[in-house]
Structure 1
Amino acid sequence: MIERCGWCGSDPLYQAYHDTEWGVPERDGRALYEKLMLDGFQAGLSWITILRKRPAFRAAFEGFDPRAIAGWGEADVTRLLGDPGIVRHRGKIEAAIGNARGWCEIEAREGFSAYLWRYVEGAPLQPAYASQAEVPTQTPLSQQISRDLKREGFRFVGPTIVYAFMEAVGMVNDHVTACHRHEAVAAMGATSG
């Protein structure tokens, strides 16, 4: 039997996400924007709900192209509020549009990926937790990144959302040590900086 982090349960979609995506260091700025936005849409919901809706989100948000989304306005908000395939929450939709504008500013200034990865000096943190109970929901670093993103105009980027994002995009390797992905993800981190 394959040992996995307990949070992914027995759902095949969740297990596939855990086994192939979660914790893998992501360096593409557009993909980082997508994941941060999806984590924001998750607020108050379960990640599996967002994962099941991810194809509809990608279609509705033009592949999460921040340059395209930055130009959207009220007509786009109205269109998205009528889309049953996504989470229809005005505040989160408006935040995704505003965050795309913030992304464009950071991208032009220094690159969104470089901006985020500098917080961990370009290499994933490797805390090596033995059990899920040890894994925090936020850290001083996620609090700092949250504050800094908010100063850049981002919304729905609280410290818990930011920490979940950091785990998902491999800025921190929170696969528990008994998980079959822990060592493989650690090795990716060693070569990705």
Structure 2
Amino acid sequence: MKSDVKRCAWAETDNQLLQDYHDQEWGRKSHDSRHLFELLSLEIMQAGLSWQTVLNKRVAFKQAFDDFNYVSVQKMTDKIPELMANAKIIRNRRKLVAIINNAKVIAKLADNGQSFDRYMWHFVGGQQIQHHYDAHEEVPGTDDLARQISKQMKHDGFSFAGPVVVYSFMQAAGMVNDHEVGCYVYKEIVAGD
């Protein structure tokens, strides 16, 4: 635990799960298609809820969704009643159906020779966008690029991929660096984490 360092305002908390997510994952570039599918799924689950709620249930989500193996998840349509009965996860049928649908789209991409990693990162030319925000309040909820990506993702069959979910995903996956410039993670990322 790095208690003597400055973090983004939203991560200045005693909550270890939130601190660990901020310190080790959020904004750091991910090129693993399974991990990217997990992040997209968690952002879908987070819509309308607190991120803390999702983090608290992340282990249960991993268990319910075979560690976010999209090859397995694409075949889970018949397991929706079982998922809806699982009190350890967020039981929102629309979100569960979207995650299963998205796994099918990602599997289809893979069948056609394109990884989910390559699909997502091509939108930013394979390069992380470096933002320079001094305060968390300056960070947008979405932007024009996320709106464009959202439109393309929906066209390509993705569900629950609105501009806010897409922008949150971009932040989580490190497609954009939205850490505050005074945050120690921002400095690590810019230096080439």
Tell me, yes or no, whether TM beats 0.5: yes
TM-score by length of 2: 0.94
Match of 2:191 in 1: 187
Match of 2:148 in 1: 144
Q: Matched residue of 1:50: which SS?
A: helix
- Is 1:25–1:188's contact at 8 Å kept on the other side of the alignment? no
User: Within 2, Cα distance between the matches of 1:142 and 1:73?
Assistant: 28
- Is 1:24–1:188's contact at 8 Å kept on the other side of the alignment? no
Match of 1:122 in 2: 126
TM-score by length of 1: 0.94
Per-residue displacement from partner, 1:31-76 (whole Å, max 9, x unpaired)? Answer: 10111011001111011110110000000001111111112223x0
Q: Matched residue of 1:142: which SS?
A: helix
User: Within 2, Cα distance between the matches of 1:37 and 1:119?
Assistant: 19
Aligned counterpart in structure 2 of residue 50 of structure 1, from 28, 51, 54:
54
Per-residue displacement from partner, 1:6-39 (whole Å, max 9, x unpaired)? Answer: 1123112111110111111000111101110110
Per-residue displacement from partner, 1:58-111 (whole Å, max 9, x unpaired)? Answer: 00001111111112223x000000101100011111111111111111223321
Paired residue type of 1:23: G
Aligned counterpart in structure 1 of residue 90 of structure 2, from 78, 87, 90:
87
User: Within 2, Cα distance between the matches of 1:64 and 1:152?
Assistant: 20
Q: Matched residue of 1:88: which SS?
A: coil
Q: Matched residue of 2:130: which SS?
A: coil
Match of 1:100 in 2: 103
Q: Tell me by how many angstroms 1:154 deviates.
A: 1.2
User: Within 2, Cα distance between the matches of 1:187 and 1:36?
Assistant: 26
Number of aligned residue pairs: give it.
188
Note the aligned Cα RMSD (angstroms).
1.1
Match of 1:113 in 2: 117
Higher mean Cα deviation, 6-15 or 16-25? 6-15
1:160 maps onto 2:164 in alignment: yes
Q: Tell me by how many angstroms 1:2 deviates.
A: 1.5
1:15 maps onto 2:24 in alignment: no
User: Within 1, Cα distance between the matches of 2:137 and 2:58?
Assistant: 28
Q: Tell me by how many angstroms 1:170 deviates.
A: 0.4
- Is 1:26–1:169's contact at 8 Å kept on the other side of the alignment? yes
Paired residue type of 1:128: H
Paired residue type of 2:55: L
User: Within 2, Cα distance between the matches of 1:2 and 1:112?
Assistant: 34
Q: Matched residue of 1:181: which SS?
A: helix
- Is 1:62–1:68's contact at 8 Å kept on the other side of the alignment? yes
Match of 1:177 in 2: 181
